[in-house]
Homo-oligomer: A and B are copies of this chain.
Amino acid sequence: MSTSTALPLNEASACCAPLTRQPLDAEQAVDLARLLKAIADPARLRLLSIVAASEGQEACVCDLTEPIGLSQPTVSHHLKVLMDAGFLSRSKRGTWHYYALVPGALDSLATVLVTA
């Protein structure tokens, strides 16, 4: 894993049909597992859900640390993992960084899992 670059979510969704349609090959499974690992962490899920549930699906980093109860460096690390995996994007306005949900990123992942 350490030798690979992060795979943007859009590429992952292009690579994988829904699981019920055809079995994943080895490469697709590695790509999909990497995306799932990025969100398979309680702190990252909480951060992602705070951003996702915020107005405009965007939140100031200044509003992300206190509710999670972790240090700023730890929160920054988790936010970076979510950005590297393509779930969040970041922009700077004034003093603060703002994190936004990348449109379609979570939905692409959901589409791979849906069996109906």
Chain A residues in the interface with B (C-beta under 8 A): 19-26, 29-30, 32-33, 36-37, 39-43, 45-46, 48-50, 52-53, 57, 67, 101, 106-107, 109-111, 113-116
For this chain, the copies found in one complex come to: 2
Residues of chain B contacted by A22 (CB below 8 angstroms): 49, 53
User: Chain A contact residues: over half helix, strand or loop, or mixed?
Assistant: helix
Assess whether A107 is in contact with B114, with CB atoms less than 8 Å apart.
yes
Nearest chain-B residue to A101 (Cβ)?
A: B115
Nearest chain-B residue to A31 (Cβ)?
A: B42
In the assembled complex, the Cα of A45 lies from the Cα of B32 at a distance in Å of: 8
Assess whether B49 is in contact with A24, with CB atoms less than 8 Å apart.
yes
Nearest chain-B residue to A22 (Cβ)?
A: B53
